[in-house]
Amino acid sequence: MIVLGMISGTSVDRIEGALVRFEEEGETLRASILTTDSHPIPDRVRTALLSMLPPKRGSVRAVCEINFAVGEAFAAAAHAIGERAGIRPDLIASHGQTVYHLVEGQRALSTLQVGAPAVIAERTGITTAADFRPRDIAAGGQGAPLVSLLDVLLLAGTDAPCAMLNLGGIGNMTVVVPGMEPFAFDTGPANALIDHAAARLSGGKLRYDVDGTWAARGKVNESVLAELMAHPYFKLAPPKSTGKELFGPGFAEEVLARGLDAADCMATLTAFTAQSIVDAFRDFAPHAREVYASGGGIHNRTLMTMLEQRFKAALPDLALRTTDALGLPPDAKEAIAFALLGYQLVHGRSGTIPTCTGARHASVLGSLTPGSNYREVMRVAAGRAAGEIRQLMIRQL
Ligand SMILES: Nc1ncnc2c1ncn2[C@@H]1O[C@H](COP(=O)(O)OP(=O)(O)O)[C@@H](O)[C@H]1O
Ligand SMILES: [Mg+2]
């Protein structure tokens, strides 16, 4: 079965896509990555999204409108990615775009992803899986990080204590230590604050600090950094999740209001991301020996250097790599994770690991919108064994 996984993350930068062929052998799932690709979000859709995301507000009408507009953008992305690869997937698994992730203290109360799957199924004719997060929240979980299933299945074969770290708008990590239940959580900000500050301090010219060059020219303001690190979120034990509602434009504006020199501000926010991640490892995963990073943040050289230096100082036995070392393309990891979740959905298999999201039990995630191939997809899936997958083997074609 070929699945197109798609996501636009909290950075609202591009729609990432991955075409993945899944084949089963007993409890092992083989994922062949046929292509990874991305597609732009039309400027007017991006602007509309950014104008309603916290701390800004949107009307119910605006949410209603953007749901279809993002659906159209995902449908266009699915079409373009399929055309470029010359492949028509059997299933589309769309994360859509988060517009709100509602957390109070350590409890997730609700979450909303837009990008109407009906629009995607209608435009493409392909059965579309979507709405992955709410079920886990309904079962008492965080609804995040949903990449944890991919992470855990992928690391199931390794004997060393490992962690996966995704550097999107928000950072998340999954820890797999032999003999322990796996766990996962959002570390806090990854690129979200850096992006907002880069856009504001450049007068809108930059969307992000390209390669981290701006931060590299600045000096970290240690007293501001210490204050930011005192945020209570970092003390909460996992499982926990967060979003731009907390570490987003509102937070970044408070830091900008301190009037630091622009480069120093960029350096301090970059150090904040790095330090919060290093502290997360020190406090919650000191046993990890290898960490595999992914997401757009790996292209920020200053962030990666700060991470390396701070890991070296706090946890000298921890090696930082990118997920390339596992055969997993770092920019497409989340798209691949949602392809996996879509595959799990049509097979009636769990998309979560309760110790990772904090749910009372594992759940089959998502809902399905039938395309013209619906009965065929159901027939193929029904023909397979009902048991759960224990291991994932990935290869890139
Ligand atoms: N060359 C680069 N230099 C610095 N940062 C980059 C670069 N490329 C991507 N990024 C960062 O990665 C972010 C996008 O990462 P992504 O993994 O797509 O996050 P999300 O899942 O939140 O959309 C951008 O907003 C930017 O902050
Ligand atoms: Mg993105």
pLDDT attached to residue 54: 84
CA distance 221 to 261: 10
pLDDT attached to residue 181: 95
Identify the residue whose C-alpha is closest to ligand 1 atom 18: 296
Mean pLDDT of 274-298: 97
- In short, whether 38's Cβ falls inside 6 Å of ligand 1 is no
**Residues 215-273 pLDDT 10s:** 999 999 999 999 999 999 999 999 999 999 999 999 999 999 999 999 999 999 999 99
Q: Above 90 in pLDDT, residue 71? A: yes
3-state SS assignment for residue 6? strand
Q: What is the DSSP string of 153-184?
A: HHHTT--S-EEEEEESSEEEEEEE-TTS--EE
**Residues 312-328 pLDDT 10s:** 999 999 999 999 999 99
Domain ranges within the chain, ordered by starting residue: 2-143+365-396, 149-326
- The whole-chain average pLDDT of the chain stands at 97
pLDDT attached to residue 159: 87
With bands split at pLDDT 50, 70 and 90, how would you rate the model's confidence at 16?
A: very high
Closest atom of ligand 1 to CA, residue 334: 21
**Residues 189-229 pLDDT 10s:** 999 999 999 999 999 999 999 999 999 999 999 999 999 99
**Residues 25-52 pLDDT 10s:** 999 999 999 999 999 999 999 999 999 9
CATH 3.30.420.40 fits 2-143+365-396, yes or no: yes
CATH topology of domain 149-326: Nucleotidyltransferase; domain 5 (3.30.420)
Helices marked H in 315-360: 333-346, 354-357
Q: Above 90 in pLDDT, residue 55? A: no
How many Cα atoms are found within 13 Å in the side-chain-facing hemisphere of 388?
A: 10
pLDDT attached to residue 385: 83
Percent share of the chain, pLDDT over 90? 96
- Token pair of 1 as six digits: 């079965």
CB 42 within 8 A of CB 101: no
pLDDT attached to residue 5: 99
pLDDT attached to residue 80: 98
Q: Is the pTM of this model over 0.95?
A: yes
With bands split at pLDDT 50, 70 and 90, how would you rate the model's confidence at 157?
A: confident
Closest atom of ligand 1 to CA, residue 211: 3
166 CA from centroid of ligand 1 (Å): 11
> Which residues crowd ion ligand 2, with CB under 5 Å?
9, 11, 13
CA distance 374 to 368: 9
86 CA from centroid of ligand 2 (Å): 24
